[in-house]
Amino acid sequence: MVAHATSNQSASSGLRPINSLRDVVGVTTLIERAFADDMDVNGHNSMRDLRWMGQLFGWMDWFTSPGQGMLPGYVWVEQGRIVGNITVRRLSLFGHGWMIGNVAVLPEWRGRGIGRQMMEAGIELVRHNGGNWIALQVRTDNDIAHNLYKSLGFADTGEIVYFERRTFRVDRVGRPQQPVESRLRPARPQDMDRLFTLAQSLVPDSVRWAEPTYRTTFDLSLERDVSDWFSGAQHVWRVIEAGDQIWGAALLEAKRRRRSGRLYLWVVPTHAGRIEEILIDSVLAELDDPLDLVVARIPGEHIAGRVALTTRSFRQVRALTSMKLPLNGAG
In this prediction, residue 114 carries a pLDDT of 95
- pLDDT score for 9: 42
pLDDT at position 237 is 96
Q: Is residue 280's pLDDT more than 60?
A: yes
pLDDT of residue 289: 80
Mean pLDDT on 174-185: 83
Range with the poorest average pLDDT among 17-21, 44-48, 96-100, 116-120: 44-48
Which tens digits make up the pLDDT trace of 245-269?
999 999 999 988 888 999 999 999 9
Rg of the chain in Å (alpha carbons):
22
Residue 138 has pLDDT above 90, yes or no: yes
In a 13 Å sphere around the CA of 7, the CA atoms on its Cβ side amount to: 4
Mean pLDDT of 232-255: 94
The confidence score (pLDDT) of residue 129 equals 87
Residue 136 is predicted with a pLDDT of: 95
Q: Which of 65, 126, 66, 64 is nearest to 96 (CA)?
A: 126
Question: Residue range 124-137: average pLDDT?
Answer: 92
Average pLDDT over residues 172-192: 84
User: How far is it, in rounded angstroms, from Cα 131 to Cα 86?
Assistant: 17
Nearest to 83 by CA among 1, 3, 5, 14: 14
Q: Which of 26-35, 55-64, 103-112 has the lowest mean pLDDT?
A: 55-64
Inform me whether the pLDDT recorded for 66 exceeds 70. Answer: no
Q: In residues, how long is the chain?
A: 331
pLDDT class of 12 with cuts at 50, 70, 90:
low
Q: How many helices (H) and strands (E) does the chain have?
A: 9, 12
Least confident among 49-53, 198-202, 228-232: 49-53
pLDDT tens digits, 158-167:
999 999 998 7
Alpha carbon distance 51, 134 (integer Å): 26
Separation between Cα atoms, residue 255 and residue 228, nearest integer Å: 9
Q: Can you give 150-184 as a three-state secondary structure string?
A: HHCCCEEEEEEEEEEEEEECHHHCCCCCCCCCCEE
Q: Is the pLDDT of residue 100 over 70?
A: yes
Q: Which residues have C-beta within 8 Å of that of residue 126, sequence separation ≥ 6?
A: 88, 98, 134, 327
Q: What percent of the chain has pLDDT over 70?
A: 82
Query: What is residue 2's predicted lDDT score, i.e. its pLDDT?
Result: 46
Residue 301: the pLDDT is 93
**All structural domains of the chain:** 2-131 (3.40.630.30), 161-322 (3.40.630.30)
Q: Which percentage of the chain shows pLDDT scores above 90?
A: 56
Q: Give the pLDDT band (50/70/90) at residue 277.
A: very high
What residues are paired with 75 via a beta bridge? 16, 85
Residue predicted with more confidence, 80 or 121: 121
**Range with the lowest mean pLDDT among 68-72, 90-94, 291-295?**
68-72
Contacts of 153 (CB under 8 A, 6+ apart): 325
CA torsion sign for 177, 179, 181, 182 is: negative
